[in-house]
Amino acid sequence: MRSTRRAKVRCSPSRWQAPLRFVRESDLDVGMLAGRWTLLDRTGEPLLAECERRGVSVLAAAPFNSGLLSRSARAGDTHFNYEAPDPRLPPESSPTWPATTAPSCRTSPSPSPCSTRRRGDRHRSVPAGAREVRGAVAVHPRRRGRVAGGSEDRRRSAVSTVSSITVSDIRFPTSRELDGSDAMNPDPDYSAAYVRLACDDDTEGDGFVFTIGRGNEVVVTALQAVESLLVGRPVGTPHDLAETARALLHDSQLRWLGPEKGVMHMAIGAVLNALWDRQSRAAGVPLWEYLAFLSPEELVDQVDFRYLSDALDREQALDILRAAEPTRRERAEHLRSAGYPAYTTSPGWLGYSDEKMVRLAREAVADGYTQIKLKVGADAEDDARRMKLAREAVGPNIRIAIDANQRWDVEDAVGAVHLLAPWDPYWIEEPTSPDDVLAHAAIRRRVAPVKVATGEHAQNRVVFKQLLQAKAIDVLQLDAARVAGVNENIAILLLAHRFGVPVCPHAGGVGLCELVQHLSMFDYVSVSRSMDDRVVEFVDHLHQHFVEPAVVRDGRYVTPTAPGFSARMHDASRERFAYPGGAAWA
């Protein structure tokens, strides 16, 4: 029979994600949460929940009781003392160790005597001989001795400032096979205006704007225009990211180019996404998880409520997030085991032959998808023929969505949907101009029960607010790279929940599947609390170019576990598909 394994776990307002990861991967019997913020800022809640789920007895969860572990230990117990670097101290002031080796553990067959140290006006009991590092995270490493959660660099997020940005023009020649083709965009070359941020603590973050070829160089220039406002800014905490978003979005000269829409807005969104990628990488957790376990106050601080208060104010947003807070851990665990529902557009590109469309539709059903999507809008007779073939291929129980990509006026849209009604379309996506809220509302009234979906080209949170207020949509399709990044998408998710409209993100583009999966998973855990009638688009193109590609299995996204926003491309892909000098364009 082994001895009891105990550990002291210290958490602070922005540094609890790594201890949570350690507890999941460790083999403890008894744990203690310590640190002055454990109760004051609710940061101990996820750790307490994980301990309860794994049957780890919690000795205490109160500030200033760091000696309780030693005082309550019994003979034969095994103790572990491990201290990570203090994120608020310069590197030379913090203990360090090689990233590939375990920190030293002290084990003893009996309790250690306690000593008392003064910090400010308070006395705390600590195990004798243990070094106290202010703000440190004390954890028990995995039994195999590896440092769960990663290296020292992941922990010093609180002192990070941006030191440089690198921007690339990356284009993939998808028009050669007509991948991505639709009625409005017959020959797209899926492209990314790609940005990598470097910080002074050697952390990095990646983001991009999705385009379809020509004009990608315009977005590259817009990204470069942001550099002078970004370099030197602190970006190590959620508060820093909120302040950075406001500084970029409210810069009067750049704002004039929108305001808050168009190329400049998308470029700022890519930068903010890169910062969130860096933040969650530094914390050692995937972005969905990082966001899901921020406090409601930290999340709401990311939202710009200007122009929203007639539909959603700060207190209403806090109410939504607080309602989800007590049961976040159960949903997160379900997400890790079950994944998130997906649908596929891969069979439905307009340039594909009937034979290819039918074959891919049947394969999608065999792969576990319960919904596919077809592009429509070029020719009514072709649309009817393809819709009939698709329905015959997949049977009556598979949903078929249709997407016109803004092709029609109101009367054309209504007539086209009625023409296709015999084959039971589930929704009509982007039937008309993405800016025409009233036209969407009119179409929705006249094509019911077919649902109306839109959002991939909605320029900002204000357009989404109006679509919801006007009851113009049944399905909200946010895009990770169209608006001002994670910050604005938090606002959009809160708006959707406020109005009771499900979110089914757009992901038809290079890297978009990788990004939007995190947003939907965060929505499930911390906002909507539901997967009902919610699916994330999956397009089976170009994932091999990403370090952590999106994976769909049995018709469901596999929940990401790697730290970050899944945004990083392989360096070899960035080099090969760089435009115009890359080998792919030679």
CATH code for the domain in which residue 278 is found: 3.30.390.10
Residue ranges of alpha helices (H) inside 150-237 are 216-230
Position 83 scores a pLDDT of: 39
Q: Which of 506, 518, 541, 545 is catalytic?
A: 506
CATH code, 366 = 3.20.20.120
Nearest to 450 by CA among 365, 376, 359, 348: 376
Same-domain status, 132 and 44: yes
Same-domain status, 196 and 333: no
Same-domain status, 364 and 508: yes
Convert the pLDDT of each residue in 445-502 to its tens digit. Answer: 999 999 999 999 999 999 999 999 999 999 999 999 999 999 999 999 999 999 999 9
User: Which residue carries 């109160």 as its tokens?
Assistant: 62
Least confident of 111-115, 297-301, 569-573: 111-115
Same-domain status, 416 and 550: yes
Position 52 scores a pLDDT of: 65
Convert the pLDDT of each residue in 502-523 to its tens digit. Answer: 999 999 899 999 999 999 999 9
Convert the pLDDT of each residue in 406-430 to its tens digit. Answer: 999 999 999 999 999 999 999 999 9
State yes or no: pLDDT of 306 exceeds 70: yes
In-domain check, residue 345: yes
Same-domain status, 436 and 552: yes
Same-domain status, 481 and 368: yes
pTM: 0.76
How many Å from the N-terminal Cα to the C-terminal Cα in the chain?
67
State yes or no: pLDDT of 582 exceeds 90: yes
Position 557 scores a pLDDT of: 98
Which residues does 7 contact at the CB level (< 8 Å), separation at least 6? 26, 28, 30, 31, 32, 69, 79, 80, 82, 138, 139, 140
Convert the pLDDT of each residue in 310-348 to its tens digit. Answer: 999 999 999 999 999 999 999 999 999 999 999 999 999
Domain end: 285, 312, 338, which one?
A: 285
Mean pLDDT on 526-543: 96
Reported as a pLDDT band with limits 50, 70 and 90, residue 182 is confident
Q: How many CB atoms lie within 10 A of CB 355?
A: 9
Q: What six digits make up the tokens of 465?
A: 């607010």
Same-domain status, 267 and 306: no
Domain end: 228, 252, 285, which one?
A: 285
In terms of pLDDT, which residue wins out, 184 or 70? 184
Position 42 scores a pLDDT of: 43
State yes or no: pLDDT of 184 exceeds 90: no
Same-domain status, 130 and 226: no
Are residues 136 and 84 in contact, defined by beta-carbon separation less than 8 angstroms?
A: yes
- C-alpha 20/C-alpha 7 separation (Å) is 13
Least confident of 151-165, 287-301, 385-399: 151-165
Position 179 scores a pLDDT of: 81
Position 163 scores a pLDDT of: 97
Same-domain status, 57 and 76: yes
Position 46 scores a pLDDT of: 60
Least confident of 108-112, 136-140, 169-173, 202-206: 136-140
State yes or no: pLDDT of 88 exceeds 80: no
In-domain check, residue 214: yes
Position 41 scores a pLDDT of: 39
In-domain check, residue 378: yes
In-domain check, residue 291: no
State yes or no: pLDDT of 278 exceeds 90: yes
Q: Which of 8, 375, 451, 541 is catalytic?
A: 375
In-domain check, residue 290: no
State yes or no: pLDDT of 84 exceeds 60: no
Q: State how many domains the chain has.
A: 3
Q: What six digits make up the tokens of 439?
A: 């036209």
State yes or no: pLDDT of 133 exceeds 60: no
In-domain check, residue 308: yes
Position 185 scores a pLDDT of: 81
Convert the pLDDT of each residue in 13-29 to its tens digit. Answer: 445 555 666 666 666 66
Share of residues in the chain with pLDDT > 90 (%): 69
Domain end: 129, 154, 179, which one?
A: 154
Residue environment code for 27-66, b if the CB has 16+ CB neighbours within 10 A, otherwise e: ebbbbbbbbbbbeebbbbbbbbbbbeeeebeebbbebebb
Reported as a pLDDT band with limits 50, 70 and 90, residue 125 is very low
Position 181 scores a pLDDT of: 77
Beta pairing class for 340-344 and 536-538: parallel
In-domain check, residue 119: yes
Same-domain status, 399 and 537: yes
Known active-site residue 375: yes
- State the sign of the Cα–Cα–Cα–Cα dihedral 328, 329, 333, 336: positive
State yes or no: pLDDT of 39 exceeds 80: no
In-domain check, residue 293: no
Position 23 scores a pLDDT of: 62
Same-domain status, 447 and 419: yes
In terms of pLDDT, which residue wins out, 8 or 381? 381
Same-domain status, 378 and 452: yes
Domain membership of residue 228 as a residue range: 162-285
Mean pLDDT on 284-308: 97
User: Which residue carries 């994976």 as its tokens?
Assistant: 551
